[in-house]
Amino acid sequence: MLDAFGLEVLDRDECVALLASVEVGRVVFTKRGLPAVQPVKYLVQQDSVWFPVQARTDLFGSADDGVVAFEVDAFDPGLRTGWWVTVLGRASAAVECDLPQRRPELSWQPPLATDVRCIRIPIEVVSGRRVA
């Protein structure tokens, strides 16, 4: 199916598969009343997007029980083909976060960083498009 701009509309299964195929995404959150974007390393499991974040940061404060958007994409250098997937949801924080220990490649923090939390965004509202 094509949208009004002639882009292919991706179904949920394809969106989730593409979401899981990329290592870095962008979290869109609110910082001091304005939109902010931050890249994060993440993983998809249990029908959610998970990423580690340092506590006491703007991202953590906004994402803990806040509505956020999460976006991933891939385009060829000429921008003639590609795709993007967006997830919208209410994020939550887990006090215990062993992602950096289990999956050190997910963190840009030093290996022994303290006070790292995991943010979870449930994949409830997901949409995607493909440029063919």
The secondary structure of residue 4, as a DSSP letter, is T
Q: Which residue from 46, 47, 37, 40 is spatially nearest to 68, judged by alpha carbons? A: 37
The domain in which residue 83 lies consists of: 8-131
pLDDT at 13 over 90: yes
Residue 3 belongs to a domain: no
- 99 part of a folded domain: yes
On whether the pTM is more than 0.85, the answer is: yes
Reading the block at residue 41, the tokens are 């390393």
Could you tell me if residue 41 is inside a domain? yes
Could you give the CA distance from residue 114 to residue 31 in angstroms, rounded to a whole number?
23
- In three-state secondary structure terms, 96 is coil
Per-residue pLDDT tens digits for 103-132: 666 666 555 566 778 899 999 999 999 998
In this prediction, residues 15-20 reach a mean pLDDT of 97
CATH of the domain at 51: 2.30.110.10
**pLDDT digits 0-9 by tens, 33-62:** 899 999 999 989 889 999 988 888 899 988
Block residue for tokens 């000429």: 78
Count up the domains in the chain and report the number: 1
Residue 1: inside a domain, yes or no? no
Tokens of 20: 């899981």
